[in-house]
């Protein structure tokens, strides 16, 4: 008990230095936690992807299309329960700064495949019955102040022109991780317009979403679908929704690795700063350690004082950092919702934050502890300053 009391008193002897060190560690822990959360969110869609959904696309690339007539043959494959299809539209609202995901889909089958999109029944009926109707996520509607019946105009990039849609429904996600920043509209509306403007692009889809009767049949059904269209003019590549999303993420894997490295570099930097602080503290107290040895206190006792002080300072910064991580994450989720619809810090990240703080304290205290425990009495007492 006396040792613990002495450690706390030593930590508060230079209050400004201790406060600055604690704040530095806290900032590093906040940065580490947020960067770790960002990496985790990058894979959030993969973790919550359905095991009973397959995605079929052109075997060459996602930018190449498939005939819409494939849907009837896909339905005949063993294990296939339902088939939907659509195109990535890539429309822009107002200007490039107001980008959000928008798709042309076969509405009824698509909504059946995605029960996590919760839409009031009357709004669903209105959407299905209006060829120019669209639905949007609740976060997207809140951002732009849209309400049912509003006219929304997108400027096409992949499909040029000004495209007008009537907002018929606002869906919410069944879970917090569900994307509520997308716009969905009728594929038929897109296709009928293309028949008039660019007939060669009509009756083509960018992807098929396939519901299967059991996740155990995923590999078998995927292989059967691709075999059905083998050696055709548009061969297919079918994979689970998880694998499909991982394919997108793999394109940015280098960025994720860089973010991970930066998160560790932040910890290393503050570790060096904390080690320098503790080294200064130990150097200033060499005579005190020698005096304690003269009074009969052993090397372990003195080492415990120095090491304990380092741990206390670092863990104080770590706890403060963990506390500050929550308002920082909330600010990001509110102010940058167009980029991070969900920004929740996991329990694992919090444990890693505390572990990082403990590591900072332990590494920073190693040399000062050794120095204080091994100082000779004569050498310590003749030092001045």
pTM over the 0.85 mark:
no
Position 266 in a domain: yes
Helix (DSSP H) and strand (DSSP E) numbers for the chain: 15, 12
Q: Say how many residues make up the chain.
A: 385
Each of the 385 residues of the chain gets a pLDDT tens digit; together they read 566 776 677 667 777 888 888 888 899 889 888 888 877 776 665 555 677 899 999 998 888 999 999 999 999 999 999 999 999 998 999 887 778 889 999 999 999 999 889 999 999 999 999 999 999 999 899 889 999 999 999 998 899 989 999 999 999 988 777 788 899 999 999 999 999 988 898 999 999 999 999 888 888 999 999 999 998 889 999 988 877 776 666 666 677 788 888 888 888 888 888 877 777 776 766 676 677 777 777 777 777 777 888 888 888 888 999 999 888 888 877 766 666 666 778 888 888 888 988 888 888 888 777 776 677 776 656 655 5
Residue 375 and residue 349 share a domain: yes
Angstrom distance (rounded) from CA 65 to CA 63: 7
Residue 83 and residue 197 share a domain: yes
Last residue of a domain, one of 204, 234, 264: 234
Q: In the chain, how many domains are there? A: 2
Residue 270 and residue 314 share a domain: yes
Angstrom distance (rounded) from CA 382 to CA 206: 81
pLDDT of 382? 66
Residue 271 and residue 127 share a domain: no
Position 54 in a domain: no
Last residue of a domain, one of 202, 234, 266: 234
Position 294 in a domain: yes
Position 163 in a domain: yes
Last residue of a domain, one of 234, 268, 292: 234
Residue 275 and residue 229 share a domain: no
Position 37 in a domain: yes
The set of residues, in sequence order, having a beta carbon less than 8 Å from that of 128 and lying 6+ positions away, is: 107, 108
Distance from CA of residue 267 to its chain's centroid? 20
pLDDT of 119? 93
Residue 220 and residue 74 share a domain: yes
What is the token pair recorded at 106?
A: 């076969």
Residue 259 and residue 222 share a domain: no
- Residue 18 is part of which domain span? 2-44+253-381
Residue 287 and residue 230 share a domain: no
Residue 324 and residue 223 share a domain: no
Residue 226 and residue 83 share a domain: yes
Which letter, b or e, does each residue of 271-307 get, where b requires 16 or more Cβ atoms within 10 Å of its Cβ? bebbbebbeebbeebbbebbebbeeeeeeeebbbbbb
């Amino acid at each position: 008990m006396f040792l613990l009391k002495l450690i706390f008193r030593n930590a508060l002897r230079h209050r400004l230095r201790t406060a600055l060190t604690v704040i530095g560690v806290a900032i590093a822990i906040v940065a580490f936690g947020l960067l770790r959360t960002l990496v985790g969110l990058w894979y959030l869609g993969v973790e919550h992807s359905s095991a009973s959904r397959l995605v079929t696309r052109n075997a060459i690339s996602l930018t190449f299309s498939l005939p819409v007539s494939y849907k009837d043959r896909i339905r005949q494959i063993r294990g296939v329960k339902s088939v939907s299809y659509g195109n990535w539209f890539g429309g822009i609202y107002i200007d490039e700064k107001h980008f959000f995901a928008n798709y042309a889909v076969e509405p009824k089958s698509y909504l059946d495949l995605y029960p996590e999109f919760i839409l009031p029944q009357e709004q669903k009926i209105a959407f299905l019955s209006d060829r120019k109707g669209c639905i949007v996520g609740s976060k997207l509607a809140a951002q732009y102040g849209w309400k049912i019946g509003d006219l929304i105009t997108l400027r096409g990039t992949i499909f040029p022109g000004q495209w007008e849609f009537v907002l018929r429904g606002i869906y919410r996600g069944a879970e917090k991780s569900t994307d509520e920043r997308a716009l969905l509209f009728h594929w038929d509306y897109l296709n009928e317009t293309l028949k008039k403007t660019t007939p060669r692009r009509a009756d083509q889809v960018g992807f098929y979403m396939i519901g299967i009767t059991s996740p155990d049949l995923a590999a078998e059904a995927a292989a059967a679908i691709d075999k059905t269209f083998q050696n055709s003019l548009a061969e297919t590549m079918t994979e689970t929704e998880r694998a499909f999303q991982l394919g997108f993420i793999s394109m940015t894997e280098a960025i994720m690795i860089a973010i991970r490295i930066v998160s560790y570099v932040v910890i290393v930097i503050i570790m060096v700063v904390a080690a320098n602080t503790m080294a200064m503290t130990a150097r200033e107290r060499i005579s005190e350690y020698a005096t304690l040895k003269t009074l009969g206190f052993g090397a372990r006792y003195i080492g415990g004082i120095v090491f304990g002080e380092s741990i206390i300072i670092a863990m104080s910064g770590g706890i403060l950092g963990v506390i500050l991580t929550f308002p920082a994450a909330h600010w990001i989720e509110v102010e940058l919702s167009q980029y991070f619809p969900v920004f929740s810090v996991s329990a694992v990240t919090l444990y890693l934050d505390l572990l990082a703080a403990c590591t900072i304290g332990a590494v920073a205290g190693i040399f000062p502890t050794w120095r204080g425990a091994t100082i000779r009495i004569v050498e310590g007492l003749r030092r001045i300053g």
